[in-house]
Chains A and B, each alone.
Chain A
Amino acid sequence: NAGVTQTPKFRVLKTGQSMTLLCAQDMNHEYMYWYRQDPGMGLRLIHYSVGEGTTAKGEVPDGYNVSRLKKQNFLLGLESAAPSQTSVYFCASRRQISSYEQYFGPGTRLTVT
């Protein structure tokens, strides 16, 4: 049981390049989330999904797209990276009916130059 995993762990992009971050969970969780963490800002929700085939915008969705084609995977895409997207990205998941916390992945540090 690996929990929540994120690929890659680190990445450096040039402005305008695109990339996809992969989040995978093996706990059969219905809900999945993508956050970004910036100094002094805490964690802010980018997009989330309440089930396979569904996605919704969070607090800071601009510049990002997501897809949830399979229940266990939640992809975060940057079509044209900008320096403002330099951040640490966290994926999280949880059961729909659970009162408990979200389970977080280890994070991806992305730098856009």
Chain B
Amino acid sequence: AQTVTQSQPEMSVQEAETVTLSCTYDTSESDYYLFWYKQPPSRQMILVIRQEAYKQQNATENRFSVNFQKAAKSFSLKISDSQLGDAAMYFCAYRSLRSTGNQFYFGTGTSLTVIP
């Protein structure tokens, strides 16, 4: 089974600054998808950004961007101009394209605090 590792249990950032959350994964597959989900205190899981492994270009969504390094199996999330509403738990997820049901594998999460 694939494993997803988030080595930073907690991170903090000053409001308006930039922060990068790390994620690495282990897989023998060549094609897959990667995601970052945000979970605010409301518990609702919200998709932040996704990346297809076959695409070399890094995905961006407004203030959120990723640094996808396929050979290194690294998928970090950069949040620019951090806002108070960005405070949440962030989960990195890997989606297999081979397993029945195309299962998702989640990391253990990084808790992001935004300091006013």
Which A residues lie at the B interface, using CB under 8 A? 31, 33, 35, 40-45, 48-50, 56, 58-59, 88, 90, 92, 99-102, 104, 106-107
Q: Does residue B43 face the partner (Cβ distance < 8 Å to A)?
A: yes
The answer to whether A107 and B43 have CB atoms under 8 Å apart is: yes
Which B residues lie at the A interface, using CB under 8 A? 1, 4, 6, 9, 33, 35, 37, 42-45, 47, 50, 52, 91, 100-104, 106-109
Jot down 28 A-B pairs with beta carbons below 8 A, ordered by A.
A31-B101, A31-B102, A33-B101, A33-B103, A40-B108, A41-B108, A42-B4, A42-B6, A42-B91, A42-B107, A42-B108, A43-B91, A43-B104, A43-B106, A45-B103, A45-B104, A48-B101, A56-B100, A56-B101, A58-B103, A88-B43, A90-B45, A99-B33, A101-B35, A101-B37, A102-B104, A104-B45, A107-B44
Extra 16 A-B pairs, beta carbons < 8 Å, given A40-B108, A42-B106, A50-B100: A33-B103, A33-B104, A42-B4, A42-B6, A43-B104, A49-B101, A50-B101, A56-B100, A56-B101, A59-B1, A99-B33, A99-B52, A101-B37, A101-B47, A104-B44, A106-B42
Complex: A104 Cα to B52 Cα, angstroms: 20
Among B4, B33, B43, B52, chain A packs the most CB atoms within 10 A around the CB of B43
Q: Among A42, A49, A99, A106, which residue has its beta carbon within 8 angstroms of that of B43?
A: A106
Instruction: Kindly list chain B residues whose C-beta atoms are within 8 Å of the C-beta of A42.
Output: 4, 6, 91, 106-109
